[in-house]
Structure 1
Amino acid sequence: MDLQQISEILTRLEQHELRAARILNMVPSENSMSALAKLPMLLDPYHRYFFNDGAAEEPWEFRGVEELASLETELARPLLRELAGAELVNVRALSGLNLMTLTLSALGGPPGSEVMLLSRAQGGHYATASVAARLGLKVCYATGPDAHTLDETQLAETLRARQPGLVYIDQSNALFPLDVERIARIVRHEAPSTLLHIDASHWMGLILGRQLLNPLAAGADSFGGSTHKTFPGPQKALFATNRRDLFERFRATQQYMVSSHHFGATISLALALLEFKHCHGEQYAAQVVVNTRRFGAALDRLGLELDGKERGFSAGHQLWIRTRTSGVDAFTASQRLFDAGIRTNAYPSLPGISEPVLRAGLNEPTYHGLVADDMEELAELFVAAIRQTQPAEQISSRVAAMRARYRFPYRFPSDDPKLLEQAMRLVRVALTQPRE
């Protein structure tokens, strides 16, 4: 490999970065985070192990980040305890799926134990049953009459008959959250020794931003999820509980299922949590819900078919849009939107829907600064792209202009001269590694 090839790679990355600054990403499972929060992943801590938990008496076998350990132990964890309303938190899971595996292993019991999962027909994650089976766990399901409702009678009867060690609720595909308080009451009544864990990956930013009831306050034993969907952070995950026994079970499992927990990304999470607390995270969370409903109503007025209309389209960040009635399948519609500068998620099998549909999320556009008054214009561009009533180049120019109007209201001001100078100095040090 020569320098020319390196230059070509850097050119491609630059081109992507410039394009990314001109488009709107509406994939519900993705979000941005600030450039400031991304910085640690460029630096030396990204390469280092950090096994200690922070107790002063712990021996240091790996000392690479000893002087930075407090960024996890005294910044990330306390911030998360505050925002998550939890006495005990763990930030060492690498992703939502990794957290699922850790939680099922830690709380599901030994091989042969039974766990209750949320049926995929009610939005359960596609991988949960397979992961449970690979851990040797037996599976039963919580089901319901539609995509967003549990059959409480079936839930109670199954709990009473099976007495599973763990109920694991993971709404991977959902427009409306399940009522955790009602689920918790049923679990406590029918199976008092059964644990209840809520995987809140898609709802995380709305929970930390006080738009949805905290699962622990609702009666769950623990909750967790990924930190890059409605929460604008790195691709990691968190676990939260008020029970010391569950925390220790999770920690003991994590020590043997996660080696490097990507300490650079953990520092990024600390910065993202700090921004969320001090840069209007609750306002962002509220705006996500407002924008989603306004955008759904605007698409409906323009003739697109959306699920959940009778309930206000969504209580969160995503919408499910059927495009077949507009004469185009979801994958073709997604390509047309892509060509016009709008990224969506064509999904083949959402609960209760027999045809592929579009999932569109307002979490990242909201994070960039879009507000409710922008939803009519965005809906117009969205529909024009799908129906090809305007040239894609014209729509993409308007999308870029919409994106350029905003200056990231939920971040620290990285264009502050002092912060910018310090950040650029860090980048130069990382790239050139100057010698004295």
Structure 2
Amino acid sequence: MFSLELDRQAISEGLMLERVSEEAREVGHTLSLTANENVMSRTAAAILSSEFESRYHLGDDSLGRVVPAATKGALHYRGLPAVFELEKLASEITTARLGAAAVDFRPLSGVHAMMTTLLALTRPGDIVLSLPPEVGGHFASRALVQSMGRISLFLPWDAQALDVEAGALGADIARYGAPRLVLLDPGMPLFPFRLDRLREALPRETIVVYDASHTLGLIFGGCFQDPLAEGADVLQGNTHKTFPGPQKAMVALRDEGLSAIYRDAMNQGLVSSQHTHHALALYVTVLEMERFGRAYAEQVQRNAAALGNALLARGLGVFTHRSEVTRSHIVLVDRTANFAAEEACRLLLRAGLSTNSRPFGGMQVLRLGVQELTRRGMREAEMTYLAKIFARLLVHGEDPARVRPDVLALRVEFPRVTYSFDGDRELSVWRSRVERERARTFRAVKENGPRARPRDPR
């Protein structure tokens, strides 16, 4: 780790930037099977370093019309009509896909979305139920709930059904009181929840929030479950796992009453800038998912099943439920021949395979995700090939240095982002123009330096 003095010296000599560039190249040569990341299209990514990266777009879908300037409270600010039009289009598509009365794209991340729904829809002293961390519940949920002055309790869990034990809720409610909100916050969702049973077991006034951070892309593609139709009141989640957008979030609400409450809380101060460049990249991804989402989601599910079954066939212990390995993007490896999960992660990374491990059901497991591989164009045949590579490393103990060239060759074979607008000729011309203009600006500044300010004639 560098000292502050060395950091300054490194930055002044450009060494720190070179180190970051080297790390970016290293990441680019790695095949990502992490369940919590994805890759954006070049079309969406081009917006991230555009002029909008430094501009405000406060965003409010209740404005209802495109204006060159807008007023929010006592603040008068410049409007961005084209951005607003794209936001409205993305909102119309998303509400239709999710069966929502309204959607809000202003949350900045999955945890921020969780914070805003908790603050908007509960009050201090309210009971909030969430999933236990040992079965995949989000590590931050309890701390967030308690820091807001709410009472945090865990949902009863049925390990055999891999679902909330809805039949046990009655006893918990009799003992502790009715919950104001139930937060389903899975970090390893292999199978859909039985939301109808959960809804029936809860009082009518209890709000059910479904965190779709992991499965939003599958839900958007109509391939996992339909939370708002099955009993949830709110669907929230980040937008960079199976949904292949920027690191941002959205909140969709089933009815107008809750939507008005949530929107009012957001307008009162739960967000200021929604990060215009990230928002625009999200809107573009929504349009891509409208066109390609179904085919993408179906292939994600096929790839995950193919990888899980191929790993099983090659001697790796894969978590199964009623003879199925998964219906989502996630595969859990709960046993390897020679390595603990964390050690396996480190070994795989040395071979150019990025994964992660998490506790689940009293053990540490490898959590694999196929969503990025799918968006890069890989299919079942590549999943079988990857299972062979895993077996070479984790079953047969082959040296990662010998395996790494094969991983890199596979990565290089799939350079494109599929299920996207990157192949659209018209958008390709626009994207190339944006990239050329950006490169020309940077080159001019580097060669000529910033222009001197004109001298004051006084």
Counterpart of 2:381 in structure 1 is: 373
- CA distance in structure 1 between the partners assigned to 2:443 and 2:286 by the alignment: 30
* 1:114 pairs with 2:112: no
- CA distance in structure 2 between the partners assigned to 1:14 and 1:248 by the alignment: 45
Aligned pairs (5 A) from 1:62-211: 63-108=77-122, 110-146=123-159, 148-159=162-173, 162-187=177-202, 191-211=203-223
Deviation at 1:98, TM superposition (A): 0.8
| Equivalent position to 1:364, from 372, 388, 391 | 372
| Equivalent position to 2:29, from 22, 25, 33 | 22
Matched residue SS, 1:326: coil
Deviation at 1:305, TM superposition (A): 0.9
- CA distance in structure 2 between the partners assigned to 1:289 and 1:308 by the alignment: 15
For residues 263-288 of structure 1, give each alpha carbon's deviation from its aligned partner in whole angstroms, at most 9, with x where no partner exists: 1100010111111222x221111111
Deviation at 1:52, TM superposition (A): 4.7
Change (3 A) 1:122 1:333: closer
* 1:402 pairs with 2:410: yes
- CA distance in structure 2 between the partners assigned to 1:163 and 1:217 by the alignment: 23
Conservation of the 8 A alpha-carbon contact between 2:101 and 2:259:
no
**Length-normalised TM-score, structure 2:** 0.86
Matched AA of 1:367? R
The structure with the larger Rg is 2
* 1:344 pairs with 2:352: no
Matched AA of 1:270? Y
- CA distance in structure 1 between the partners assigned to 2:337 and 2:377 by the alignment: 30
- CA distance in structure 1 between the partners assigned to 2:329 and 2:264 by the alignment: 34
Counterpart of 1:31 in structure 2 is: 38
For residues 157-197 of structure 1, give each alpha carbon's deviation from its aligned partner in whole angstroms, at most 9, with x where no partner exists: 3346622221221112332221122222332xxx1121111
Deviates more, 1:384-393 or 1:78-87: 384-393
- What's the RMSD between the two structures over aligned residues? 2.6
Change (3 A) 1:244 1:7: same
Matched AA of 1:170? D
* 1:49 pairs with 2:60: no
Deviation at 1:290, TM superposition (A): 1.0
For residues 36-71 of structure 1, give each alpha carbon's deviation from its aligned partner in whole angstroms, at most 9, with x where no partner exists: 212222122222222352444842745455244325
For residues 80-137 of structure 1, give each alpha carbon's deviation from its aligned partner in whole angstroms, at most 9, with x where no partner exists: 22332222000011111111111111112x2112222223344321211111111111
Matched AA of 1:79? I
* 1:422 pairs with 2:433: yes
Deviation at 1:253, TM superposition (A): 2.2
Counterpart of 2:240 in structure 1 is: 228
- CA distance in structure 2 between the partners assigned to 1:270 and 1:159 by the alignment: 41
Deviates more, 1:255-264 or 1:49-58: 49-58
Counterpart of 2:227 in structure 1 is: 215
Counterpart of 2:4 in structure 1 is: none
Matched AA of 2:205? S
Deviation at 1:387, TM superposition (A): 4.2
Deviation at 1:392, TM superposition (A): 2.1
* 1:382 pairs with 2:390: yes
Q: Which runs of 5+ in 2 are unaligned?
A: 1-7, 452-458
Matched AA of 1:21? G
- CA distance in structure 2 between the partners assigned to 1:238 and 1:62 by the alignment: 25
Deviates more, 1:392-401 or 1:299-308: 392-401
Deviation at 1:395, TM superposition (A): 1.8
Deviation at 1:312, TM superposition (A): 1.1
Matched AA of 2:346? Q
- CA distance in structure 2 between the partners assigned to 1:431 and 1:62 by the alignment: 33
Matched residue SS, 2:432: helix
For residues 218-239 of structure 1, give each alpha carbon's deviation from its aligned partner in whole angstroms, at most 9, with x where no partner exists: 1211111111111101111111
Q: Which runs of 5+ in 1 are unaligned?
A: none
Change (3 A) 1:6 1:218: farther
Conservation of the 8 A alpha-carbon contact between 1:175 and 1:308:
no
Change (3 A) 1:124 1:389: closer
For residues 212-263 of structure 1, give each alpha carbon's deviation from its aligned partner in whole angstroms, at most 9, with x where no partner exists: 1221111211111111111101111111113122112212222312222111
Identity of aligned residues (%): 28
**Length-normalised TM-score, structure 1:** 0.90
Conservation of the 8 A alpha-carbon contact between 2:46 and 2:435:
no
